[in-house]
Amino acid sequence: MFTGIVTDVGEVLTVQPRAEGLRRLKIACSYDRATIADGASIACNGVCMTVVSAGVEAKTWFCVDAAAETLAITTVGTWQSGSRVNLERALKIGDELGGHIVAGHADGTAEIFARENLTDMVRFAIRAPSTVSKFIASKGSVALDGVSLTVNEVQGDTFSVLIIPHTLAVTTLGSWQPGSKINLEVDLMARYAARLMEPR
């Protein structure tokens, strides 16, 4: 479980094909190696991934395996050496809930279709998959590439978010351009509310 508050930006060092359609990714980070245990969960661009090994070279690094389902429905399949990814460690009891409850289970990919550069800020217009757009509401929350954001406006399958200077400085969001594909996770509470309202 996560909150969508990015704590580091990592860099993909290597991507290695494995058996059964797996890919093993080695990611450099600024975390203390001593705090990363095998089996730990780290959200990488909003995708909850399990650490299979870790170490230190020039920087701390950890390895994760991405299965076929993850490669199919997220942007993980497009990552290569040099890709920068937002990182968040798993939530601990007593941690500050600065964003919203994020499971790290991406619902799919959304696409940036417009970018408006404002004074120190950026407004993005985003097209969501039609299968999940019904869960996105004005003033509600979404996680985009692992970042907890407040939705500004919603029109059909499209919505907008405004990115403040701090978020631009400490995440990868400033690199988004029209055509960029990003991982989208809708608000967990919205999903359960919709499920409860379905006719039995």
- Residues with catalytic function: 2, 41, 48, 50, 67, 105, 150
Q: How far is residue 25's CA from residue 28's CA, in Å, rounded to a whole number?
A: 10
> Which structure tokens are listed for 195?
């499920």
Q: How far is residue 26's CA from residue 10's CA, in Å, rounded to a whole number?
A: 10
DSSP letter for each residue of 103-120: -S---EEEEEEEEEE-SS
**What's phi and psi for 171, nearest 5 deg?**
-135, -175
Q: How far is residue 46's CA from residue 60's CA, in Å, rounded to a whole number?
A: 20
Q: How far is residue 189's CA from residue 192's CA, in Å, rounded to a whole number?
A: 5
Q: How far is residue 8's CA from residue 195's CA, in Å, rounded to a whole number?
A: 34
> Which structure tokens are listed for 119?
């004074």
DSSP annotation of 74: S
> What are the angstrom distances between the C-alpha of 24 and each of 21, 85, 119?
10, 15, 40
